[in-house]
Amino acid sequence: MNNMWIEEARLIAEQCWNNEETKGIKKDPALVEAIARTVAVWMDTGAQHARNTEFYRGLLDECAGHLGEEVYIADDGSVMEDPLRLKIPALVSDLAVRARGITHG
């Protein structure tokens, strides 16, 4: 198995026999490896999800930079360092309405 998480997953799988509930059960190396492979896939999936999240967050932040200062201003008036992504849909909608008004007006 070529998974960057396999060594860490093996350590996690080994710990299954160090729990209070399992300390009397004989460790089965094949089962340890099977558990480790499953855990490694979960870890890889989680890592890929995190990378995807960062990628799309970056795209949103790039778009937000074109929406003006308002995307950085919180409801209490404080100015944030990062865009408030929650505001992006409404600001894009407002921008689209204004663009249609200019185009058709």
User: Would you give the end-to-end CA distance of the chain in angstroms?
Assistant: 62
- The domain spans of the chain are 1-64, 66-105
Q: Which residue intervals of 1-105 are DSSP H helices?
A: 6-15, 29-64, 88-104
**Model confidence band, residue 91 (pLDDT cutoffs 50, 70, 90):** very high
pLDDT of 22-74, one tens digit each? 888 999 999 999 999 999 999 999 999 999 999 999 999 999 999 999 999 99
What is the average per-residue pLDDT within 91-105? 84
Q: How far is CA 100 from CA 48, 74, 96, in A?
A: 39, 27, 6
Widest CA span in the chain:
79
- Residue 103's pLDDT band (cuts 50, 70, 90): low
* SS3 state of residue 92: helix
- What pLDDT does residue 59 have? 98
Query: What's the rounded Cα separation, in Å, for the pair 16 and 29?
Result: 12
